[in-house]
Structure 1
């Protein structure tokens, strides 16, 4: 019985991944997008609202260490008792 469940358990996530939405997002009938932010010249589209802010996706720091550094003495690094 378990042998039959393994292929089903492997194929179920694949089937669920295939049912994603491929069309552009639009508000439901009778509803509208949120109002434009104060001071904004135009109302943002659904695609604009889905873009993450700069704060939500910060740039990575790619600074690499070019030399190894000695570790400073840690007074709290004591051996276990």
Structure 2
């Protein structure tokens, strides 16, 4: 019984994948071109993230301990 339920769940999840590129639904269109642009951006271009929206992660390890600077906003609770 459990295997049938598990198999049903796997098949249901497998059916959720997209097989076609994204496109606007019927009766709607893509957003207008940004101010100053001559062409409307394509669907793939609209899905790309800006560098500011998804910044690179900095994984800088500290090699020795350092004193913390004074933080004027680190106040005790009132």
Which has the greater radius of gyration?
1
Instruction: Give the TM-score of the pair, scaled to structure 1.
Output: 0.62
Distance change >3 Å, CA 53–CA 8, structure 1 → 2: farther
Aligned with 1:7 (options 3, 7, 17):
3
Unaligned runs of 5+ in 2: 69-75
RMSD of the TM alignment (CA)?
Answer: 2.6
4+ long deviations beyond 4 Å:
none
Unaligned runs of 5+ in 1: 77-81
Instruction: Give the TM-score of the pair, scaled to structure 2.
Output: 0.63
